Structure formats: structure tokens, C-alpha cells
Amino acid sequence: MTQRIAVIPGDGIGLEVTWAARQVLEAVTIKHKIDLVYDEFDWSCQRYAAAGEMMPADAIERLRPYDAILLGAVGWPGVPDHVSLWGLLIPIRRAFRQYVNLRPIRVFEGVRSPLRDAEPGAVDFVVIRENVEGEYSEIGGRLNRGFPDEFAVQEAVFTRPGVTRIARFAFELAGTRGSYVTSATKSNGIVHTLPFWDEVVAGVAADFPEVRTDSEHIDALAAKLVLDPGRFDVIVASNLFGDILSDLAAAVAGSIGIAPSANLDPTRTYPSMFEPVHGSAPDIAGHGVANPIGAVWSAALMLEHLGHAAAAADVMAAIEESLMAPDTRTRDLGGTGDTASVVSSLVALLG
């Protein structure tokens, strides 16, 4: 069975790490006799500069028939982020109802976490980020432009169906792992939406008596993630909280360069999208030093989603092996390797 992948490398190191992921996919799909075909789309800030739009008007329609989307990163100096992101990344997440943003965190052998006490293997949790509503709403904007009293407003939108389905996903996932869910909140009276989030999450929790639940204020949770990352299993969070926690957690695990993400439509009505957590990194783009592990791990999540669990496990084993040696770790992990040497090592391990 042929499965079709839409590839959107995007901007900056997005191009470099997507190339890396493609090399690894090539190796592992040959080994496992998996038939993936790719179409690459040049939708990016560069395209915006030339054509005045990040992607064509029929982009969503064109992506619709694919089995999955593999994305690098979006955003580049010269194009305002709100233009590039509302013009490419966010519309895909929303049009395809990718309401789960699944972001696993692990400390690997050979990778030194900035935390002295984080033993490899002892840190293994998943951030389940609500991905289509919450603080990232389209309601609001910049008003009274040009006047001294200009201001910006944005309504955070939390719906009962939206919170219910993300909470349900988190509890179901916890049931297959450590049976422990931490809900990120800010319910101490200031923010109106989070007490509602808490109420809906508690309602879902009641359906999963075998899963332990904690609710933690986002500020305290941020501190606990640094002080004791090993205690977490599944963290469920709103769109903005989940965004912040996943970069924090990735740094705790060594670098944001290794963190992957899966933008999932769990109903499988639409294609899901796989991308590293990091952005286009203009400060290192073009130097060939970007850590490709976040993109490669995202490709492994894609393989798993497409029904190729053994191939995904092989990629993960290659990542684990490759991270052990300093010359196949990139600089952000204290190694001496670069993007190409990590790719060579992964491809050799899969060969």
C-alpha cells in the first residue's frame, strides 16, 4: 500500500532538518519495505517574498488527500511572524482539526540534561497540548491603530467539546503509560477560562478512576518541571501553556533541538502533521549545525501514526545509539557533530 506524504520544509533550519528526516525515512522504509511517496511544497517566507502569500489559496484542498504532512519550521526575519504563522502553520492545524499536539520528552543516555540529577531514562513524559482553540483565538485584534490609546485584545476561547476531547485523549494515553495525568491550570481566581478548564477536566477524570490526576498552577508546574521532571507522565495543557511547557521541558531534557511533535486529528478524518517543536533558528540556519533529532523523531511519530510501529521503533533505537557518541551529537548537546554527521550515523545504523 502506497502512502502519500506532503513535505513542507518551510524556512531556515526547517529545510536542513527536513532533509535529514527524509534521509532517515529513506533508509528505514527500504529496510522495512514501506512504500511512502513524497511531494514537496515550497510554501515559506521566501515564497511570500516572491508571490505575496505563504501558500496558495487552494493549499488546504491540495493537502487534504495526503496520508500525513511532514513540516520543518515556519518564520523568517523580514516577514512578520503573525503573517507567516497565520498564513501557513496555524491554518493547517485548524483546517485539519489537529486538536492534539503531542510532544514527548525523554532524557537519553549520553545526553547531559542541564539538571544534574536527571538520570537518563528517569525522565519520560508527554505534553498533550490543546492545539486549535484556547488563547490562540482569532477573536480580537489591534484596535485604534495609530492613536495614542491604541490597544490589542484577544479572547481566549475554551469550549466544552474542545476541552473534553483533549482531556479524554490525555487520560486514554495515560492509561497506556504511567496512569498519571497532570493538568496545567491557573485557576486561582484571576483567569476566568481556567476554572472552566478544571471543571471539564475533572468531569473527564471521573471516567478514568484508574488514572491518578493532579491539577497544578502553571507557574508552580514550570518550577516542578525543572526541579523534578521524573515525576510526570502525561501533562495536559491549553494551547499557550502547552507551547511554553514543551520548550521548557525540551530544554530540561537537553535541548529544544531534540523535541518532536505530532499535530493529530485522532478521528483520522484529515491528515495529521509532524514537525519538530523548534522554529527556523535564523541564528544558526545555513551553517549545517542544526540538530536534526527533533525532525527525525517527528518522522518516527509519523511512521507510528501510519501503522509502521516496527520502523518507528528502529528509528528510535538509532537515535538512542547515535546520541551516545560525542561526534554524532550536535553542538547544542555538547557534541562535536553537525547535521550531516548525525544523519550519516542514523542512516548507517538503519542500514
Active site residue 149: no
Q: Which of 40, 61, 81, 199 binds ligand NAD (CB under 6 A)?
A: 81
In this structure, the strands spanning 100-106 and 124-130 are antiparallel
For residues 227-246, which are near Mn ion according to CB under 5 A? Answer: 243
Q: Name which of 106, 117, 100 is nearest 165 in CA terms.
A: 100
- DSSP of 292-316, one letter per residue? -HHHHHHHHHHHHHTT-HHHHHHHH
CB of 221 to ligand IPM, least distance (A): 17
Of 120 and 257, the one with the shorter C-beta distance to ligand NAD is 257
In this structure, the strands spanning 180-185 and 68-73 are unpaired
180: phi then psi, degrees, rounded to nearest 5 = -145, 120
| Active-site choice (11, 66, 99, 186) | 186
H helix intervals, the chain: 13-31, 45-51, 59-63, 81-84, 90-95, 160-175, 193-205, 218-227, 239-252, 293-305, 309-322, 339-350
Q: Which of 254, 294, 335, 337 binds ligand NAD (CB under 6 A)?
A: 294
| Active-site choice (11, 233, 243, 314) | 243
CB of 117 to ligand IPM, least distance (A): 27
Q: Which of 243, 265, 314, 338 binds ligand IPM (CB under 6 A)?
A: 243
Active site residue 207: no
Q: Is 87 in the site for ligand NAD (CB under 6 A)?
A: no
CB of 123 to ligand NAD, least distance (A): 19
Active site residue 247: yes
Q: Name which of 243, 245, 304 is nearest 279 in CA terms.
A: 243
Q: Apex CA 30: angle with CA 303 and CA 275, to 5°?
A: 30
CB of 200 to ligand IPM, least distance (A): 22
Q: Is 133 in the site for ligand IPM (CB under 6 A)?
A: no
Of 166 and 205, the one with the shorter C-beta distance to Mn ion is 166
CB of 42 to ligand NAD, least distance (A): 15
Contacts of 345 (CB under 8 A, 6+ apart): 318, 322, 325, 328, 337
Contact (CB, 8 A) for 129 and 263: no
Task: Please give the single-letter amino acid code of residue 243.
Answer: D
Q: What is the set of active-site residues?
A: 136, 186, 219, 243, 247
- Chain residues binding ligand IPM by CB under 6 A are 85, 89, 243, 277, 279
Residues at the interface with ligand NAD (CB under 6 A)? 13, 17, 73-75, 81, 85, 89, 256-257, 275, 278-284, 290-291, 294, 332
